[in-house]
Amino acid sequence: MTRYVDENYKLFIDGKWVEGGGKKFETHCPADGKLLATCAEADKGDIDRAVSAAWRAFETWKDVNPQERQRILLKIADLMEANAEKLAMVETLDNGKPIRETRAIDIPLSIDHFRYFAGVVRAEEGAATMIDKDTMSLILREPIGVVGQIIPWNFPLTMAAWKLAPALAAGDCVVIKPSSETPLSILELAKLLAEVLPPGVVNVVTGRGSTTGNYMLEHPGFRKLAFTGSTEVGYSIAEAAAKKIIPATLELGGKSANIFFPDCPWEKAIEGLQIGILFNQGQVCCAGSRVFVHEAIYDKFLKEAVAAFEKVKVGLPWEDGTQMGSQINEVQVEKILGYIEVGKKEGAKVATGGYRLTERGLDKGCFIAPTIFTEVNNKMRIAQEEIFGPVVCFIKFKDEADVIKMANDSEYGLGGAVWTKDINRAFRVARAIETGRMWVNNYNSLPAHAPFGGYKKSGIGRETHKMILEHYTQKKNIFISLSEKKVGLY
């Protein structure tokens, strides 16, 4: 097979590739266990150097005009597009997700994110108000400074694009840390960024959360933190930000409701069920992991869902025909299988799946069969906790009020969907569910230009939309007296 990655990767700091002060770590392909590369781990000194480099770069980057920032963002997108096949394969190898997804979704959406913010940056304006005839108030957006960004392993390049594009558009400089499980696509992206960005504008530091991640949280040099990951780690990010009195945007966990009414567009709905929980092997924060099906269609829907799940081709992720690839690692498999046992003990029944796949060349990887639980009560742990795998809970409901109550009985509020041809019902249910994103007759669509983020313990802030620039900028008010007269108080 063509070698898509380097054998060794360093840290990308101040526009240069430098050795890290910490232990080196290896990254392996989860689908076959093979070593992909050895990476550097950033220690405290490396974080200091990265933050310092970012602040030096900020002195000039903050004043780069919108036309130039747009040109650079577009150039990044063009470079990614020219290297799309390589980026797709690197992501597939490092993460285990099917190549059909990285080619059609991860990489194109990431590219488009840079193009979206390239467009947005030219349309951003401040505001001017006449407070009275002699007093003018100007409101200008100014970049916030150096931002620390920490991203997860489930969508490495896409999450990097969600974070980097708005920060660069806003005029900020960045120190970004990918997950130590999946650092390679961001490191490959850094090679492209080096061609167009001044040194220090983006710095990529790799390493474990307990070392590199915590050094970032402790560092006093950041003016904002941005994080995508679990709610548990989100507490630490929020606490670190609070101690520094800096803002943090958080995109956290979920246990989203995928709701099917009797008048749903049937075939599309069956596919939507699969997209909701099988896309990216169910390792999606907004996965439709709680499926609520109206009692009038429950039996037929379940039968067809089981048949559809059993047809899904789980396979080696780099093969074109593979629909579902490998989970991220062995401990994630252990976690998923652990939850399957929990579900059985709680009294739920496995309608299909529920086991690890090891046949047809999958024995060295981390593969789980698409799994449906029935006879689930919404209070069960499998209906309340994030399993983060291709495991879905089927729950029967009687009417709108019933399903809205159950859907909202969750500490999370990130995604969700309602499937119906009744437009009034669609809007009623979409409005009633306490969640940041409700899809109507679709699922897991995550393009730029539509805000994404959570209610409740699913997070703070909205990404993938120009409104995130509010978080990457601060407001300067210039308050002007046009009068020549004294106020007269002294």
Active site residues per annotation: 251, 285
Strand ranges across the sheet with 8-9:
8-9, 35-39, 25-28
The one among 5, 11, 13, 29 contacting other proteins by CB under 8 A: 29
Backbone angles phi, psi at 294, to 5 degrees: -60, 140
In angstroms, give the least distance from the CB of 178 to other proteins.
10
* Min separation Cβ 338 and other proteins, Å: 3
Question: Using the rule CB under 8 A, which residue among 20, 22, 30, 416 binds other proteins?
Answer: 30
Distance set, CA 4 to CA 1, 195, 325 (Å): 9, 19, 19
According to the binding rule CB under 8 A, does residue 26 interact with other proteins?
A: yes
**How many Å apart are CA 420 and CA 413, to the nearest integer?**
21
Q: H or E segment at 17? A: strand 16-18
Q: Per-residue contact track with other proteins, 211 to 230, x per CB under 8 A?
A: --xx-------------xxx
466 vs 394: CA distance, rounded Å: 36
**291-326 burial: b if 16+ Cβ within 10 Å, else e:** bbbbeebbeebbebbbebbeebebbbbbeeebbbbb
Q: Residue 241 region, left (φ>0) first, then alpha (ψ -120 to 50), else beta?
A: alpha
* Exposed e or buried b per residue across 90-99, where buried means at least 16 C-beta atoms within 10 angstroms of its C-beta: bbbbbbbbbb
Amino acid at site 199: P
Residue 371: what residue type?
T
Q: Does 474 bind other proteins (CB under 8 A)?
A: no
Which one among 232, 267, 363, 399 touches other proteins, defined by CB under 8 A? Answer: 232
Using CB under 8 A as the binding rule, whether residue 253 contacts other proteins is answered as: yes
The one among 22, 27, 40, 105 contacting other proteins by CB under 8 A:
27
Q: Does 210 bind other proteins (CB under 8 A)?
A: yes
Q: Let me know if 121 is exposed, middle or buried by CB neighbors in 10 A (0-12, 13-18, 19+).
A: buried
**Rounded least distance, CB 11 to other proteins, Å:** 18
Q: Which of 19, 235, 311, 358 binds other proteins (CB under 8 A)?
A: 235
- Whether 24 and 110 have beta carbons less than 8 Å apart is answered as no
Q: How far apart are CA 457 and CA 41, in angstroms?
A: 31
Smallest gap from Cβ 411 to other proteins, in A, equals 11
Q: DSSP readout, 86-141? A: HHHHHHHHHH---HHHIIIIIHHHHHHHHHHHHHHHHH---EEEEEETTEEEEEEE
Does residue 334 touch other proteins according to CB under 8 A? Answer: yes
Position 422 contacts other proteins (CB under 8 A): no
Stretch of residues binding other proteins (CB under 8 A), selected from 104-112, 152-160, 299-307, 476-484: 152-160
Binding of residue 376 to other proteins (CB under 8 A): no
Q: Minimum Å distance from CB 272 to other proteins?
A: 22
Q: Give the Å distances, CA to CA, from 456 to 54, 349, 410, 412, 435.
A: 33, 30, 9, 6, 8
Give the per-residue contact string, 262-291, with other proteins (x = CB under 8 A; - = no).
Answer: ---------------------x-x------
Piece of 24-32, 115-123, 192-200, 431-439 that binds other proteins (CB under 8 A): 24-32
Q: How far apart are CA 440 and CA 178, in angstroms?
A: 32
21 binds other proteins (CB under 8 A): no
Q: Point out which span in 57-65, 328-336, 389-397, 413-421 binds other proteins (CB under 8 A).
A: 328-336
Q: How far is the CB of 402 from other proteins (least distance, A)?
A: 27
Q: Looking at 4, 153, 412, 443, which residue binds other proteins (CB under 8 A)?
A: 153
Q: Of 15, 21, 33, 119, which one interacts with other proteins (CB under 8 A)?
A: 33
Closer Cβ to other proteins, 73 or 382, answer by number: 382
Q: Residue 208, interface with other proteins (CB under 8 A)? A: yes
Among 203, 332, 444, 464, binds other proteins (CB under 8 A): 332
Structure tokens of 269?
């709905």
How many whole angstroms separate alpha carbon 250 and alpha carbon 330?
Answer: 27
Q: Is 322 in the site for other proteins (CB under 8 A)?
A: no
Does 385 help bind other proteins (rule: CB under 8 A)?
A: yes
Which residues contact other proteins by CB under 8 A? 25-31, 33, 35, 150, 152-154, 179-181, 208-210, 213-214, 228-230, 232-233, 235-236, 253, 283, 285, 326, 328-332, 334-335, 337-339, 341-342, 365-366, 381, 385-386, 388
